[in-house]
Amino acid sequence: MPDHYPNAKILFVSFPRVGAPRLPDSNPHSAVMQAVRAYTIAVLSVFVALLIAHWRPIHLESAPVSLLLCAVIVSAWLGGTGPGCLSIGLSVLAFYYSFLSPVDSFAAKPGQTARFVVFFVSAFLVGAVSVAQRRATEFLRKTRDDLRETVQKLKESNESLCRSEAYLAGAQTLSHTGSFGWDISTGEQFWSEETYRIFDYDQSVKPTLQLALERVHPEDLESIQRITAGASQDGRDVDVEHRLLMPNGTVKTIRVLGRTSRGHEGKPIFLGAVTDISVVKNAFEEIRMLRDQLYKENLALREEIDITRMFEEIVGSSPALRAVLAKVAKVAPADSTVLITGETGTGKELIARAIHKRSQRSNRAFVSVNCAAIPRDLIASELFGHEKGAFTGATQRRLGRFESADGGTIFLDEVGELPMETQISLLRVLQEREFQRVGSNQSLQLDVRVVAATNRDLESAISAGGFREDLFYRLNVFPIELPPLRQRKEDIPLLVEYFVDRYASKAGKKITGIDKKSLELLQSYAWPGNIRELQNVIERSVIVCDSENLSVDESWFGRGARTSASQAQPLTERLTAQEKELIEAALAESHGRVSGPSGAAARLGIPQSTLDSKIKSLKINKHRFRNA
């Protein structure tokens, strides 16, 4: 370009600041208007360049090339290829017509061919550069907009990912479930935040398999190592529960689920989840304990309902009975072991139930066991339970009576009939408060109150070697002796009235009174069977009664029946004295021993229990004969 156009380069460099090219509009009408505007600008730019070049006050007559090239630049920059080409054509014509000699003429100008060609080439190059710069600018702007859009999408995706991670972390915290990944080929692991919390490690610690195994409970470690080896070598799926021993000594129970998959490079990757199920496990354990306790109490309740008890209430107001009830009121709130003694049929189980109902264990089970009614081979299993396979016929685990009474009271009736080996187990229960099921070596803790009863003379049984002395002292913490019915004669009318109302209601009969002679007969009888015998007599009388006045048949009684109280009283006293003499003589010959082949019971030819009751009723001190 000629040296007398020095401003052309300056205008070209500073021109892009004038404006920026517009991107094509997708609206057809707008595109047409934009094209018209671009071509109009091309024409106007050339026209303005001519005006400026011919405007004498500013003295730019020597710079027409720069002005026309600026018009080309403006047209190509703002309009693109079409307007740029139009501007080049108009500029070439204007330059040929107005600035090549002869001026203002389109005639042939052979002497100006070189200048014309140079101008044409310059205009074309400037236009091409402007179009290229426009396209580059448009491309850069489009790229910038695309990049902004991509960055915005990435930002939104990142925010969404952060929210998802936050939701996942929150869900894992709430569900106590963590996730982990294990690259089996490299050993590298990834743990989620919740997994770190479950294993109680700081998140700055790099997770490894050894780190996880250090938390495994020692009793579960071998099995977990075996399962881990199977997953890494054979790709086995994992679904296992095991315990973790934490640094503070607490134990957690977790469940691990996982499976092996292939990564992008085909490498095996183990992906899994670990859930802290300690709370759920403890809840299930508590539910199981409550279920077992409910089962025990239901079992005891069913047994209690099924038992035909002598009567539901204690009936009587005699001094002897009031003395017994006073002892019951004193010992019931305590948790001491009670030994109830007395003849058969005196209501020992009823007193035991009264002790239980007045105790702090009244809302728990009361389990009654008749030790004399259970075969010797089964008594241990009945009392303490057995494991599956403990003996022939033990097809499943069974809870014993002691375990069913846990937290409550167990009543051992006829405790003097227990075999020696069972007495040892009972002694351990009383001493250590623990027992073992038959066929098991595991000791189970027990919280149960023991109330025992017997109609035997346990001291004589100890002398005869039939009962353990240490067990007797453990049972005889608080003894209660029940008086026989013959010592409670003033209670007989009340008992008769109670039983008459009970059985008359069952039979659907209306009985309003009892024959006076029958009442005298009932009061004069010795009642060796005590209240149970009286109950049977009244029931039989109600069954055969056809009127509203109850009567008792004298033939239902044994030899002890008396025709009248006035006639019977002197004879009774004489018989009692003779009976006492015979018993004391037999005790003297046997040196105070009641049971056994050479005992007093064998010499008199009566059962041991009968002799024991007579010794107590006659107030005979059998110990004084041992030193005779």
pLDDT value for 479:
94
Residue 238 CA to its chain's centroid (Å): 23
Number of residues written out for the chain = 628
Residue 109 CA to its chain's centroid (Å): 108
Kindly report the backbone phi and psi dihedral angles of residue 421, in degrees, each rounded to the nearest multiple of 5, phi listed first: -65, -35
Give bridge partners of residue 292 from the DSSP assignment. Answer: none
Relative to beta strand 449-454, strand 478-481 is: unpaired
More confident residue, 231 or 349: 349
Residues of the chain with pLDDT > 70: what percent? Answer: 88
| 308 pLDDT tier (thresholds 50, 70, 90) | very low
Determine whether domain 176-276 maps to CATH 1.10.1040.10: no
DSSP, collapsed to helix, strand or coil, labels residue 272 as strand
Task: With beta carbons less than 8 A apart as the criterion, state whether 454 and 423 touch.
Answer: no
pLDDT value for 232:
79
pLDDT value for 351:
92
pLDDT value for 628:
52
For 426-445, what is the mean pLDDT?
86
What are the strands, taking DSSP E only, across 349-477?
A: 366-370, 409-413, 434-436, 443-445, 449-454
Relative to beta strand 513-514, strand 549-550 is: parallel
> Residue type for 602, please?
A
DSSP, collapsed to helix, strand or coil, labels residue 460 as helix
Residues of the chain with pLDDT > 90: what percent? Answer: 10
Q: How far apart are CA 623 and CA 628, in angstroms?
A: 9
CB 201: neighbour CB atoms within 10 A? 17
| Apex 152 CA angle, 149 and 153, nearest 5 | 85
List the structure tokens of 138: 């448009």
Determine whether domain 286-483 maps to CATH 3.40.50.300: yes
pLDDT value for 10:
31
pLDDT value for 300:
64
Task: With beta carbons less than 8 A apart as the criterion, state whether 242 and 224 touch.
Answer: yes
List the structure tokens of 355: 């002790």
pLDDT in tens, 593-621: 888 777 888 777 777 877 887 888 788 88
Residue 563 CA to its chain's centroid (Å): 72
Q: How far apart are CA 132 and CA 81, in angstroms?
A: 9
Q: Is the link from the previous residue into 102 a cis peptide, with omega within 30 of 0? A: yes
- Select from 543, 566, 540, 567 the least CA-distant residue to 554: 540
pLDDT value for 121:
86
Q: Is 526's pLDDT higher than 60? A: yes
Report pTM.
0.46
Task: With beta carbons less than 8 A apart as the criterion, state whether 538 and 503 touch.
Answer: yes
pLDDT in tens, 4-48: 433 333 333 333 333 444 445 556 778 788 888 888 888 888 888
Provide the CATH number for the domain formed by 484-562 in this structure: 1.10.8.60
